[in-house]
Amino acid sequence: VYHVLKRMDAYPPDIFLDIHGDEELPVNFLAGAQGIPKWGKRMESLHGAFCAAYNRSNSDMQQSVGYTPVDPVKVVINTATKVIGTRFNCLASTLEMPFKDCATNPEPIRGWSPNRSRMLGASVLEPLLYIQPFLRVDESLLDFPERDAYVRPQHREFKYGKENEVLDY
């Protein structure tokens, strides 16, 4: 980690994307760096536009369910997303994928699969290209359309059936 951070210090990232699987939530979502000291209108606008563009590029993505952002007073900067977002003042997100099935686009026979993971990964390129011109501009120059507005995610519980299928999306 030390050497990677040193290299990142020499070549600061404009965006950081950490990729994980979430054992609990049966949806794909982007967990942002909400609550870090550098989170403000600029990062909120970029995060909103990135999430919205990703949602448009892949039907397995959604924006409303995720980790509820922590109050800035209570935020602990202990995840890669929050550390990198703070250190480099860049858009930083964690892509979370379900382990079972995707409630927004269920496939009862196969569930979430390696192929769907690959397709989700490939479809991130379009949203990255969409926001790339804005990653380092002053927040006064950010003027995304209303469809790209930030959506504050909310954690929620899901009910599962006998076959681990989501019953209540």
Q: Is 165 among the catalytic positions?
A: no
Pairing between β-strand 29-32 and β-strand 15-22 as defined by DSSP bridges:
unpaired
Q: Can you name the residues that pair with 92 across neighbouring β-strands?
A: 16
Give me the catalytic one of 23, 24, 44, 96.
96
Residues comprising the chain, all counted: 169
Contact predicate 50/138, CB 8 Å: no
Q: Is 97 helix (H, G, I), strand (E, B) or coil?
A: strand
Strands 15-22 and 91-98: parallel
Secondary structure (H, E, C), 44-63: HHHHHHHHHHHHHHCCCECC
Catalytic residue ranges: 96
